[in-house]
Amino acid sequence: MSRYVSIYFSNLLADYLAIKKPELKDKVYVFTMPQSNRIMVTASSKAAEKQGIFANTVLADAKALVPDILAFDDKADFNKKLLVRIAKWAIRYSPIVSIDLPDGIILDSSGCSHLLGGEAKYLETLLAKLKESGYHCRGAISDTIGTSWAVARLGKKSPIIEKGQQYNALLNLPPMALRLEQHIIQRLHKLGFDKIGKFVQLPASMLRRRFGQDLLIRLGQALGTEAESLTPIIVKAAYEERLFCLDPIRTRPAIEIAIEKLLEALCARLAKEGLGIRSAELKGYRLDGRVTETKIGTNQPTHQIAHLAKLFGLKIDQIEPDLGIEVFLMTATKTEPVHVNQEKLWNGKPGLADQSLAQLLDRLAGKVGPEVIRRYVPQAHYWPERSLRPAVSLEEKTEIKWQKSNPRPMEMLHKPATIQVTAPIPDYPPMNFRYKGELHLIKKADGPERIEREWWMEPGEHRDYYVLEDDKGRRYWVFRSGHYDQEHSAWFLHGFFA
């Protein structure tokens, strides 16, 4: 027999906002949406509810109660998106999870609760995790979706309904526990049926004639005589592989073999779908219950086993097997389509499309870190600080060409450094300059190259740049800011040539 868990969130939107903005925890705030030319409150915080402001309150009335109340827009389908996110998280407790609009989720817990020590512990753990995240919620478990829904929202006794006891659990609950339309609920109350127990045993023909077929369907679903199914959330299958070890693994050669086996299975799946790994994670579950993790990343998507094995090989020293690892789990945390370049009849310069270059960068990144490897692309600016920017990836291209008529240095200072210069007459290059206490005697010079400041972006002087070579063969890119002034000319060092 199936068992179902219903989780009810009493203040979903307000709780979510408090999680995202902790400073609003004790503030009076509401969510609003235009309805019938009036701004209606759709959800309110706990502090607002204490002031008597609930859903369906007119915002003007709420402001009369609390003048400094905060109002946020209730975006369409936001409840649904938030419930889907929570449902995906709850899949760790059950493979079948469905959203229950507008304020709940339903789990099929059949065969799952014993993993956490029984239904009471199962429900307690699930609710505790949600409450730790900041959500106010209630839950219940029973044989039917309808009874779980009713007890989670209106039940006052045990949230665990024993098998076959949904009839007794519903007797003292109001008609709204059956998920009925409002006009049916009003008609039931008008006739004195304020509890389900007062009409549950009445003939079906009489209930159908007075209240319609919907009442019988909902009653049957709650009691288990009418079928009701879930529409589970479908989570895209992760690209992951597991390897169970006959004996705990502790040595480097054994870990390398495990990595190769996992990559063979994982890359075979990715290759069939035309995908490659951009980032991957390897977890090792040890005998002592702990988990060791290591991650790799690539500059281009790839499913080449040998290359990926080398990247993981650089990380093996970070794996601490301790008494031994009994299960390995490898997950492709990020994948992208693999673009195969058309081969040519003659050999040219592959440039950044060369797979060997991408693989070399991956190995260097594995050793020294990805943050120290940079690639830049030109931008449509003459001003040196704006003439380039970091590239997103090796594949990024731009229609703008690099400056070739006047070469730029390989290394530019983030901020030009002030230098002391001796220059003979205007527009002549310096004879020497002093930088960080060292005097550089100039043997060769080229310039000036005048670069005007982009006046539409910022005010300031133009720059006259010179390429200088000192007596030791070192080359520099220096500039004078503004026109020549014998007493007040300011000179700066901006870059170093290779």
For the structural domain made of 240-367, what CATH number should be given?
A: 3.30.1490.100
* pLDDT(13) > 50: yes
Tokens of 57: 């309150």
Q: What is the DSSP letter of 339?
A: P
* pLDDT(191) > 70: yes
For residue 75, the model assigns a pLDDT of 77
Question: Of 22-36, 118-132, 484-498, where does the model show the most confidence?
Answer: 118-132
Query: Which region among 336-340, 346-350, 456-460 has the lowest average model confidence (pLDDT)?
Result: 346-350
Per the model's pLDDT, the better-predicted residue between 184 and 11 turns out to be: 184
Which residue, among 249, 229, 409, 244, has the nearest Cα to 323 in the 3D structure? 249
pLDDT bucket at 345, cuts 50 / 70 / 90: very low
404 by DSSP, 3-state: which? coil
Q: Write out the residue limits of the CATH 3.40.1170.60 domain(s) in the chain.
A: 4-118+125-139
Per the model's pLDDT, the better-predicted residue between 400 and 53 turns out to be: 53
Residues 61, 177: Cα–Cα separation, whole Å: 30
pLDDT bucket at 391, cuts 50 / 70 / 90: confident
Kind of pairing between the strands at 291-302 and 240-249: unpaired
Which helix (DSSP H) or strand (DSSP E) does residue 261 occupy?
A: helix 252-272
Per the model's pLDDT, the better-predicted residue between 428 and 305 turns out to be: 305
pLDDT bucket at 351, cuts 50 / 70 / 90: low
For residue 352, the model assigns a pLDDT of 57
Tokens of 14: 């307000």
Per the model's pLDDT, the better-predicted residue between 149 and 73 turns out to be: 149
Looking at residue 125, its amino acid is T
What is the tens place of the pLDDT at every residue in 56-113?
888 888 888 888 888 888 777 888 889 999 998 888 888 899 999 888 999 999 888 8
Residues 489, 487: Cα–Cα separation, whole Å: 6
* pLDDT(295) > 60: yes
What is the tens place of the pLDDT at every residue in 355-368?
676 777 777 777 77
pLDDT bucket at 422, cuts 50 / 70 / 90: confident
pLDDT bucket at 263, cuts 50 / 70 / 90: very high
Query: Which region among 7-11, 141-145, 384-388 has the lowest average model confidence (pLDDT)?
Result: 384-388
Beta pairing partners, 73: 32
* pLDDT(55) > 90: no
98 by DSSP, 3-state: which? strand
Instruction: Please give the full DSSP string across 189-250, using - where no structure is assigned.
Output: HHTT--SGGGTTTS-HHHHHHHH-HHHHHHHHHHHTSS-----PPPPPPP-EEEEEEEEEE-
pLDDT bucket at 399, cuts 50 / 70 / 90: confident
Residues 293, 178: Cα–Cα separation, whole Å: 48
What is the tens place of the pLDDT at every residue in 103-123?
899 999 988 888 888 999 999
| Cβ neighbourhood burial of 357 (10 Å; 0-12, 13-18, 19+) | middle
* pLDDT(40) > 50: yes
For residue 346, the model assigns a pLDDT of 43
Which helix (DSSP H) or strand (DSSP E) does residue 465 occupy?
A: strand 463-470
pLDDT bucket at 236, cuts 50 / 70 / 90: low
Cα angle: 82, vertex 86, 87; to 5 degrees: 115
Find the Cα–Cα–Cα–Cα dihedral 64, 67, 73, 78, rounded to 10°. -80
Instruction: Enumerate residues 6+ apart whose C-beta is below 8 A from 459.
Output: 453
For residue 78, the model assigns a pLDDT of 83
Looking at domain 4-118+125-139, its CATH class is: alpha beta
What is the tens place of the pLDDT at every residue in 443-480?
999 888 898 888 888 888 899 999 999 999 999 999 99
Instruction: Enumerate residues 6+ apart whose C-beta is below 8 A from 159.
Output: 123, 138, 139, 140, 141, 151, 152
Cα angle: 330, vertex 359, 325; to 5 degrees: 25
Distance (Å) of CA 41 to CA 38, 54, 74, 212, 388: 10, 7, 9, 32, 50
* pLDDT(142) > 50: yes
User: Model-level pTM?
Assistant: 0.52
Q: Write out the residue limits of the CATH 3.30.1490.100 domain(s) in the chain.
A: 240-367
Answer for the pair 262, 254: CB distance below 8 angstroms, yes or no. Answer: no
Query: Which region among 278-292, 333-347, 457-471, 482-496 has the lowest average model confidence (pLDDT)?
Result: 333-347
Residues 15, 46: Cα–Cα separation, whole Å: 9
Average pLDDT across the chain, whole number:
85
